Structure 1
């Protein structure tokens, strides 16, 4: 992972002027290291700790099985996440703009709308959870006040844009990384580990696979916006450095806090995740919870920023002459933040659990999109796209609707349903047969990837044959004339 010089960073004091427009080559900036810090720094937060805790609390796994499942899931899911990141330096546009090259200008709108709803949902959930976390350790601070503080930090970073979010992530890489290390030492060295630690839990295949699935989906959830944060990278950066820096940044940045969560789940089984973390780090809990909650704000800024870009993408598709700049981004971001803040402040205590069921559905709808996007980019077109056509009303050479992509996407969504578990609302028959294990993302990837590739090749052959048949009479007439 040797870093090659790829250009200077842009000063964070300047507000980003671009939104979804292609980034000109002479405005590209940043280094390979930025791809590591943006994903390492923003993954070390309270939610990743809680997610890791599911392995031992909800799925009942022992320490070795929880650790292995967390590693396998993150390393697998990060492959897809990093493949999307590698697209940014090549095309220089946000991820959801690029998807017009697979689905067509209008065919992509459904996917983009789903992404807006999903990241607005993530934004709301994180506001609620982060606000509660801050309130638990800061005296006289209410949960609603914590929500407002996190929303303010998120909207500020979104309005300033790309460079400030990257700078935020660089700071959190060191701050969160140091506090994470301190939390490990405090929880497992300073405080004595009970002798039952390694004997708690019982290995089951269903529990292990559920741990793998949760960790993998954590990474795949980044797919719809990951290249938004690599699109300014100089084209000479190349795909490989962007891939590997993103891959190791997001993998290590997720695995370590998930380890902490799984370990705390064994220390204090049955306890609320925040309460367990507070008790395990007693003496420094204020520092730990505060820094991890600030990390939540960094991630939420990314959610709001990308939701804003997606909303602008929808507007530009409907009104091709619309050109959004920094002011438009500020207006759209403020509108989305107002909606999220209203919901977060008026939500009940069971909001996050209820909304997570909805997010499961939305995430399931993104896996087929990931398969179509990556197969098209790497195996069909080999990264060769006419970026200017993404902004045309008729989609240019990609058309308004690319039906092979849309149909393969719908087949992929349907194929996942029997494998899905949506809280207590729905358990698919195959998931039930697998011991209540949700591996729907695997089913979606395995169905859509070959289906889309073979469909595209078949359509190309049919079109080629049609052209030959169409030209044949003209050749015959030409031969007769010549005779």
Structure 2
């Protein structure tokens, strides 16, 4: 990415508006470093430890399930990311071209809720990490430090986020590699390779976790590719995002699995990391803290863009300024800190359970988004219509997309296995939430049929002279 010139503002000056071609910059490889660095963090490491501790897979079967799940789900995030250079607008704004100007509001609301939920969870996690490193710092102060740091990064915006993750790729990637080397260079437990085994439920549950993990990023991936030159194409952003997202998460999940197997059975995940990595453990804890803060900036950035998108839906002539984005960031920061400071000990697990339940609404959205972009409109959208008060050629509501979306949610419910709701068929494969698979299988062909039928009807109407 080129160095910032005198004309380039320190704080990003675009919000949800179209990024002009003259202001495009960067390389596809920036997407690799962003998604690789972002996913080397405590949460994926803790989740990877679950593969042995909860799903009782051994090392080989665990690694196979981790790799397969993320490689499968990575296709979704990579296809979503590749839309950014072509569109030049945030992902949620683009949804107006599929659901209509007002039809997209529900999806934008859910996306904002998920961003805010993860932001709160991560500032609590950052607070606990700071206390773990420096016990003399009170928990409330630690939470505020984590929150303010993430907000500062999110406010500065796109360029700074990419710059941090370019550095983070080398630092975090090197640290994780050093952790692997340390573990394997020391004596391993006798049951390191034999603890656990293969069970279908655990294997499918691990695969599902990988798929859901990747899909959860899809509502904001093009937010970080929309500044790339429009002529960069689809292939290069796809490959860069796919490799970054999958390699980063596979390595983190695998590290959690290895650390869990390298310590006595039942050891808490992050304690296992400290024990398994010896003198390197405290260094890893500090780096993980910094990565939590950096990653959390993405959640704040996405939340702000989603809220601005919602407001701008009712004020088509309004072009939000830098001040608006800064002000909204401050409001979100204050509200999230109030919630985080009053959080209970098990807040993170409870809140993550709520957010994962809300991911039920993302699967049909992702299905419609990808089918519409790649198979229906083939990447050709009327940007001006997306910002018009009446939705332009996309209208206020697209009933075909909305119908497909709600059916996609409904068909998942019987198979859902979340902390909030367990469907009657949730335990067809015990412990594995396969609702995402049902959502994809139903929503993709349903929307394609409805959308192509709509196009056919319009063509016939034009030929018969029934339209202008």
User: Who is 2:442 aligned against?
Assistant: 447
Pick the aligned partner of 2:69 from 65, 69, 73: 73
User: Who is 1:53 aligned against?
Assistant: 49
Question: Aligned pair 1:220/2:248, yes or no?
Answer: no
User: Who is 1:210 aligned against?
Assistant: 205
Looking at structure 1, the residues matched to 54 and 402 of structure 2 have their Cα atoms a distance apart, in angstroms, of: 36
Looking at structure 1, the residues matched to 439 and 71 of structure 2 have their Cα atoms a distance apart, in angstroms, of: 18
Question: Aligned pair 1:342/2:338, yes or no?
Answer: yes
Looking at structure 2, the residues matched to 13 and 106 of structure 1 have their Cα atoms a distance apart, in angstroms, of: 33
User: How much has 1:471 moved relative to structure 2?
Assistant: 5.1
User: How much has 1:34 moved relative to structure 2?
Assistant: 0.5
User: Who is 1:230 aligned against?
Assistant: 225
User: Who is 1:376 aligned against?
Assistant: 372
User: How much has 1:468 moved relative to structure 2?
Assistant: 5.1
Pick the aligned partner of 2:304 from 305, 308, 317: 308
User: Who is 1:157 aligned against?
Assistant: 153
User: Who is 1:257 aligned against?
Assistant: 252
SS at structure 1 position matched to 2:219: coil
CA gap of 1:143–1:61, structure 2 versus 1, over 3 A, is: farther
Unaligned stretches of 5+ in structure 2? none
Looking at structure 2, the residues matched to 327 and 278 of structure 1 have their Cα atoms a distance apart, in angstroms, of: 43
The aligned length equals: 464
User: How much has 1:347 moved relative to structure 2?
Assistant: 0.4
CA gap of 1:204–1:277, structure 2 versus 1, over 3 A, is: same
Looking at structure 2, the residues matched to 10 and 35 of structure 1 have their Cα atoms a distance apart, in angstroms, of: 18
TM-score (normalizing by structure 1): 0.93
Question: Aligned pair 1:123/2:122, yes or no?
Answer: no
The question of whether the paired residues in 2 share the 8 Å contact of 1:18 and 1:325 is answered with yes
Alignment of 1:28-427 (within 5 A): 28-189=24-185, 191-268=186-263, 269-423=265-419, 425-427=420-422
Question: Aligned pair 1:8/2:2, yes or no?
Answer: yes
User: How much has 1:162 moved relative to structure 2?
Assistant: 0.5
User: How much has 1:142 moved relative to structure 2?
Assistant: 3.4
Alignment of 1:468-479 (within 5 A): none
Looking at structure 2, the residues matched to 331 and 264 of structure 1 have their Cα atoms a distance apart, in angstroms, of: 42
User: How much has 1:434 moved relative to structure 2?
Assistant: 1.7
SS at structure 2 position matched to 1:193: coil
Q: Deviations over 1:370-411 (max 9, x none)?
A: 000000000000000011111111101000000100010000
Query: RMSD of aligned C-alpha atoms?
Result: 1.6
User: How much has 1:13 moved relative to structure 2?
Assistant: 6.9
Q: Deviations over 1:306-356 (max 9, x none)?
A: 110111101110111221121111001111111111111110011111112
Unaligned stretches of 5+ in structure 1? 1-6, 473-483
Looking at structure 1, the residues matched to 28 and 213 of structure 2 have their Cα atoms a distance apart, in angstroms, of: 23
Deviates more, 1:397-406 or 1:124-133: 124-133
SS at structure 2 position matched to 1:198: coil
The question of whether the paired residues in 2 share the 8 Å contact of 1:368 and 1:412 is answered with yes
Larger Rg over CA atoms: 1
Deviates more, 1:98-107 or 1:352-361: 352-361
Looking at structure 2, the residues matched to 8 and 25 of structure 1 have their Cα atoms a distance apart, in angstroms, of: 16
Q: Deviations over 1:58-110 (max 9, x none)?
A: 11111111100110011011100000110000010000000100000000000
User: Who is 2:433 aligned against?
Assistant: 438
Looking at structure 1, the residues matched to 444 and 384 of structure 2 have their Cα atoms a distance apart, in angstroms, of: 27
